[in-house]
């Protein structure tokens, strides 16, 4: 067996360039962002539906029946606007008017909201005005109203972004109001207005610095959860629009988002977190961040320490985001080349012992195996080729149409492993197995499937030249 240290410290110069190997590597960098669930959708309508599902309205704990009976929400909001506009209204009256408005907004449907805003064009401006008033309860109710409007019509409240960010930048702000402002930003961030993702507007107004500070210092699990949900929405919306932007723009945006790495790593490694939900949310944010190509390897050891720490309990809610992160990192660079031998082996032992060898696991192994210098140890010590072949056989013998993603990922891994090291593991049986996939797989217009078809064509052409 080859020296483990050599295998795990190989550099990219030893990678194969004159075969299907180099061609398939291109597809890995193109595919990596598709691990973000939202990006799997090819059509804009479906994408927008998924974005809407990520938005959350904050439902009132109590409902005043006198204010919400009947269907005339439009009229009631008009009455409350008059109270908020009137110089003669007392503060308690204004607070009540704002609360009743909030209750309506937590219950009404999008069409009703459209009517409300059309008939009461001053309403959102009033909400924005009260965001910065000196009464914290009015501020909170206003932010709550904006949150619920943003869940249905984000573009209507997009002009509130700078004010919301200004509020969360205040370290002396009431934490309940801070969370509500972050919640509002989380809903707004999924929008698109004036040909610009509203997540971009939020980033360009400096929100990431303050959201990062909140993540690092937060000890209240509910506020941390809301903040992580907000930054997840920001990152995911940027990833959705990444293909339409210039490389310079993406580099600038994801450079700003890179500020999130430090507080997330700090929380996962330094804090004694007890809430599995917070841990899972932190790991998922890392999975979204690493979907953008990494150029800085300085966090490699921190990443692996996180993986080892949270893979050890074998909790599925941790395993899924971790294997996505690892798959994404290996799209950018050979993580093992940045580690010492012991860390590399410890991580590989944990990964190989994950019981569910699902499509996510196979995606990760496909990206790891794209580095030829470590393939021998993957095959000899971890029996990866046998594992993915067995996984592929089970998938195609059950129902290939229901296991298409798993089939695709296992085939990518097999191709990587068998075209490395002078093709010594490319057997007739393996070639026939992949041919069977090509004959039965449904190659629809989905971008991933068309890409898979191209790689299979390249592989068969490559294999035919070896015979």
- Cα distance between residue 77 and residue 119, in whole Å: 9
- Which residues have C-beta within 8 Å of that of residue 323, sequence separation ≥ 6? 351, 354, 360, 361, 363, 364
Helices 384-398, 359-368: crossing angle, 10 deg rounding: 140
Q: What is the residue-wise DSSP string for 335-375?
A: GGGGS-HHHHHHHHHHHHT-S---HHHHHHHHHHTTSGGGH
- What pLDDT, on a 0 to 100 scale, did the predictor assign at position 398? 87
Residue 8 has pLDDT above 90, yes or no: no
Which segments of 74-233 are extended strands (E)? 192-193, 196-197
- What pLDDT, on a 0 to 100 scale, did the predictor assign at position 69? 40
Residue 158 has pLDDT above 60, yes or no: yes
DSSP annotation of 293 reads P
- What pLDDT, on a 0 to 100 scale, did the predictor assign at position 402? 85
- What pLDDT, on a 0 to 100 scale, did the predictor assign at position 219? 86
Q: In a 3-state reduction of DSSP, which class is residue 373?
A: helix
Q: Using one digit for the tens of pLDDT, what is the confidence trace for 272-283?
A: 899 999 999 999
Structure-block tokens of residue 47: 């994408």
Residue 53: pLDDT band with limits 50, 70, 90? low
Percentage of residues in the chain with pLDDT exceeding 70? 85
Judge contact between 273 and 313, C-beta under 8 A. no
Q: Using one digit for the tens of pLDDT, what is the confidence trace for 229-254?
A: 999 999 999 999 998 999 999 999 99
Q: Using one digit for the tens of pLDDT, what is the confidence trace for 299-350?
A: 999 999 999 999 998 899 999 999 999 999 999 999 999 999 999 999 999 9
Structure-block tokens of residue 34: 């598709």
Give the H or E element holding residue 255: helix 247-257
Residue 7 has pLDDT above 80, yes or no: no
C-alpha angle 245-251-255 in degrees, rounded to nearest 5? 135
To the nearest whole number, what is the mean pLDDT of the chain?
Answer: 86
Structure-block tokens of residue 204: 């360009």
- Which residues have C-beta within 8 Å of that of residue 302, sequence separation ≥ 6? 265, 269
- Which residues have C-beta within 8 Å of that of residue 442, sequence separation ≥ 6? 400, 401, 404, 449
Structure-block tokens of residue 232: 């997840």
Rounded mean pLDDT of 161-168? 98
Q: Exposed, middle or buried: residue 248 (CB in 10 Å: 0-12, 13-18, 19+)? A: exposed
Distance of alpha carbon 400 from the chain centroid: 27
- Cα distance between residue 432 and residue 247, in whole Å: 41
- What pLDDT, on a 0 to 100 scale, did the predictor assign at position 60? 58
- What pLDDT, on a 0 to 100 scale, did the predictor assign at position 171? 86
- What pLDDT, on a 0 to 100 scale, did the predictor assign at position 58? 62
Helices (H), 353-442: 359-368, 375-380, 384-398, 404-418, 428-440
Residue 43 has pLDDT above 80, yes or no: no
In which residue are the tokens 């409007």 written?
149
Rounded mean pLDDT of 142-158? 96
Residue 12 has pLDDT above 60, yes or no: no
Residue 15: pLDDT band with limits 50, 70, 90? very low
- What pLDDT, on a 0 to 100 scale, did the predictor assign at position 198? 97
Domain ranges in the chain?
A: 1-36+339-467, 57-150
């Amino acid at each position: 067996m080859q020296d483990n240290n050599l295998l795990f410290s190989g550099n990219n110069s030893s990678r194969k360039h004159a075969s299907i190997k180099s061609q398939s590597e291109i597809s890995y960098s193109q595919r990596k962002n598709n691990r973000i669930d939202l990006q799997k959708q090819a059509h804009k309508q479906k994408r927008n539906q998924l974005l809407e599902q990520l938005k959350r309205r904050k439902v009132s704990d109590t409902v005043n029946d006198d204010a919400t009976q009947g269907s005339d929400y439009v009229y009631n909001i008009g009455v409350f606007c008059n109270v908020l506009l009137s110089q003669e209204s007392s503060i308690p009256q204004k607070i009540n008017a704002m609360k009743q408005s909030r209750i309506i907004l937590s219950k009404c449907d999008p069409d009703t909201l459209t009517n409300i805003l059309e008939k009461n064009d001053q309403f959102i401006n009033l909400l924005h005005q009260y965001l910065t008033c000196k009464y914290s309860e009015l501020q909170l109710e206003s932010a709550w109203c904006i949150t619920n409007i943003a869940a249905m019509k984000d573009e209507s409240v997009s002009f509130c972004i700078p004010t919301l960010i200004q509020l969360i930048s205040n370290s002396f702000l009431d934490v309940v109001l801070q969370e509500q402002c972050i919640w509002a930003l989380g809903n707004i961030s999924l929008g698109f207005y004036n040909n610009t993702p509203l997540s971009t507007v939020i980033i360009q107004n400096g929100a990431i610095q303050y959201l990062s500070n909140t993540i690092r210092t937060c000890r209240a699990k509910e506020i941390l959860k809301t903040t992580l949900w907000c930054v997840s929405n920001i990152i995911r919306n940027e990833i959705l629009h990444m293909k339409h932007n210039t490389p310079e723009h993406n580099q600038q945006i994801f450079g700003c988002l890179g500020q999130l790495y430090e507080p997330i790593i700090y929380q996962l490694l330094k804090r004694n977190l007890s809430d599995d939900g917070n841990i899972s949310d932190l790991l998922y944010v890392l999975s979204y961040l690493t979907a953008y190509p990494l150029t800085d390897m300085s966090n490699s050891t921190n990443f692996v320490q996180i993986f080892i720490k949270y893979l050890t309990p074998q909790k599925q809610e941790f395993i899924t985001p971790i294997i996505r992160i690892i798959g994404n990192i290996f799209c950018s660079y050979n993580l093992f080349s940045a580690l010492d031998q012991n860390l590399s082996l410890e991580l590989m032992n944990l990964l190989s012992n994950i019981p569910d060898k699902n499509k996510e696991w196979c995606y990760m192994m496909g990206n790891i195996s794209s580095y030829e210098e470590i393939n021998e140890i993957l095959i000899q010590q971890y029996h990866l080729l046998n594992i993915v072949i067995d996984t592929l056989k089970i998938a195609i013998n059950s129902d290939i149409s229901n296991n298409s993603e798993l089939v695709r990922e296992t085939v990518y891994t097999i191709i990587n492993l068998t075209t490395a090291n002078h093709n010594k593991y490319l057997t007739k049986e393996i070639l026939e197995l992949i041919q069977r996939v090509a004959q039965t797989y449904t190659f629809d217009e989905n971008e991933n499937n068309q890409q898979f078809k191209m790689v299979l064509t390249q592989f068969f052409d490559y294999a035919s030249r070896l015979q």
